[in-house]
Structures are given as structure tokens and as C-alpha cells.
Amino acid sequence: MALERACLLALSPFSLFEPLKWLALDGVRIMRILGIDPGLQLTGYGCVDLRPRSHEPALIEAGVLRLKPKASLAFRLAQLKDDLDALLEELKPQVLVVEKLFSHYRHARTAIIMGHARGVVLLAGQARGLRIEELAPTEIKRAVTGNGHASKNHVQRAVMKQCGLRQLPDPPDVADAIAIALCAARRLA
């Protein structure tokens, strides 16, 4: 399967509670953190670098993995795994971060289906020996907007401002993934 990825940013070619492993790029130590917002049609990702003694992470790349919406669930999960493997190989993060699963009783079926995609993300990270962290949605929103119940648009605007982007990260899955990575990086700083 060919990797179908819409990359929104490529600014540079180049965990939370355990001892950190730092990656050396061009003689500079960094921690690379990949935030993932899993989905069965679009999976957002945001990759940030954190340097020692730095309080603010730098956005390296963000985008979406596009899955075939009319394909079977099994096919989309396999496609997601293949695309994630390629992304992990390219970006080489030390930490993989996803939201903790949240479910409202009115949307239980959605949570179950989305749990499949989230499971694939966790499996891909574990298979590579990455440090995996899970953050609550309210913690992520609070970290980037100051409000744990912020709207998707509020998260998009906050991410745009904090990362110095010229336009809103779109679709919102990208902003969510960047927010996940930013929140994790700030916990590490």
C-alpha cells in the first residue's frame, strides 16, 4: 500500500515519567514527540522536538494519514498500521502520545469503532519500543487553550498562534494531534 499522507508542515529535515532518551541531531540533543489523533478516515499527527532546558517545543511536521473511507474496517486498520509504520520510520520519535479513550453513553458505538484505530496506534508504537503516553482530552485542551472544554475551533486557533502558523491547521484532526504533542512536550520540559 502506498503511503497517502497530506503533510502540512515540514519545517526542518532533521516521556513523561521515566528517564528520557535524547536523540542527537547535528550534535544537538533533542526529544522527538509524536502526537496522534486516531481516526478511521483521517488520522492526524503532529511531531515536535524538545531541546534540553527548553520550555517550548518546536513543531517539526504535522499532517493527516488518509484512509480509504469505503474500504472495510479490517482494510482501513491494516492501511493505518502500514502508514503509521512508514511515518514512525521517517520521523523517528522517542515518545508516542495519544488521547485516553473517552466515551459518552450516546456515542458508545463510535467509541468502540475508534478504539480499533487507537489500538493500531498503540500497537505500532509498542512494536517499535517507543515510550507511549496517554493524556486525557481535558488536560490536552487545558494545556493549549487554558480551558479543558475548549471547542475544536478554539484548539485550532491556539495551536496556530503557539506554533506561529499562518493559517488554521486543517482538518481539525491535525490541530488535535499537534495539541497532543505540545501537551506531552510541556509535561517533559
Residues annotated as catalytic are 37, 99, 173
The rounded distance, in Å, linking the Cα atoms of 100 and 50 is 22
The rounded distance, in Å, linking the Cα atoms of 155 and 139 is 12
β pairing state of 131-135 and 23-25:
unpaired
SS3 of 126-156: the string is HHCCCEEEEECHHHHHHHHHCCCCCCHHHHH
